[in-house]
Structure formats: structure tokens, C-alpha cells
Amino acid sequence: MLGAPALKRGRGPQVAPTKVLTSVRLDADILEFFKSKGAGYQSRINAALRLEVERNLTTRLKATTRKRVAAPPLAFSEH
């Protein structure tokens, strides 16, 4: 044996996985921006995406909760 075995780093399996492993193509400058802020860049990208989703959902919710105006009664003609 050539020394102590290397320690395996990482979180290990999650008890209840909340994230999905995926592959996303990002512009190089966008990725560099998040990486330049230090460790945890993937979490920051996730937070930025979550903020955008929440803004979009809030905007949609406001658009669908407009006051409804009663439609005029339908006039049926008898032939």
C-alpha cells in the first residue's frame, strides 16, 4: 500500500433528494460571473432562476386575478 487511502469528498446521497441532476448550457460570461463570486456558484445560479420563476408566477397571478365584469345577458330570439 502506498499510503492512506484518499478520502472521498462530497455530500453523499441525500435522504430525500430535492434536486435533479441535469446539464444546462450557459453563456461563458454568465458562468464566469457566478464562478467569480466563489464557492457555491451552482446554488447562486439556482437562486437566480428561482427568483425569476417566482417573479413570473407572481406576474401571472396578478394578471389572472383581475376583477371580472359580468357579461351582458344573451338575447335569444324565438323563431
Q: What residue spans define the domains of the chain?
A: 28-63
Arithmetic mean of pLDDT, 67-79: 65
> The cell 464557492 sits on which residue?
39
Angle at which helices 41-64 and 28-36 cross, to 10°: 110
What is the DSSP annotation of 9-49?
A: PS----SS--S--------HHHHHHHHHT-S-HHHHHHHHH
Report which DSSP code applies to 65: T
Q: What are 4-34's pLDDT values in tens digits?
A: 777 777 777 778 778 888 999 999 999 999 9
Query: How much is the pLDDT for 1?
Result: 55
- Name the residue type at position 48: A
